[in-house]
Amino acid sequence: MLDDRDYRILEWLQSDADMPVHAIAERVNISPSACSRRIARLREDGYIRRTVVVLDRPLLDLRGTVYVIIRAHHSGDWLERFRATVASIPEVLECHRLAGNFDYLLKVVVRDVAHYDTVYKRLIARLDLNDVAAYISMETIKDEQALPIRS
């Protein structure tokens, strides 16, 4: 069970995972050793799955985001092939199985439309798909990584 201090620690870590333990401890009003133990427990209990670095996409020439909606042709081992294919394409950052008229939604990060076309060709070369539709993001209005843990 998490208490208020645990939630505050998680909020600080979400905003800056490089923040020193003593700085978090000061903001949460506990000792650095107690804060360190809490962070270790939060990791051990699975609340903190991993720590990552958020890179600057434009500096890496990855300015494009394409949302791909797929209607699938399910048969035999199709789902396992789909999972393996999606996992093998690094440009696919997210994959969601949907309820409703479509089966899957992919978030794909690319340099440009030509780059997306190579991703598309890799996808269709490995899988039978009923329908694939791509939606190119024109502008990112919000791109937040932090979860709203106390809303």
CATH 1.10.10.10 spans which residues of the chain? Answer: 4-44
Say yes or no: domain 4-44 is CATH 3.40.50.10860. Answer: no
Q: pTM score, two decimals?
A: 0.88
For residue 56, the one-letter residue type is D
Q: What is the DSSP code (8-state) at residue 106?
A: E
What CATH class does 58-136 carry?
alpha beta
- Position 150 scores a pLDDT of 81
Q: How confident is the model at residue 151 (pLDDT cuts 50, 70, 90)?
A: low
Average pLDDT over residues 138-145: 93
The per-residue pLDDT for range 20-32, each reduced to its tens digit, is 999 999 999 999 9
Q: For residues 30, 33, 37 and 42, what is the CA-based torsion angle, rounded to 10 degrees?
A: 50
CATH 3.30.70.920 spans which residues of the chain? Answer: 58-136
Q: How confident is the model at residue 73 (pLDDT cuts 50, 70, 90)?
A: confident
Place of tokens 């427990």: 41
Average pLDDT over the chain, rounded to whole?
95
Determine the Cα–Cα distance for residues 27 and 31; give it in Å rounded to an integer. 10
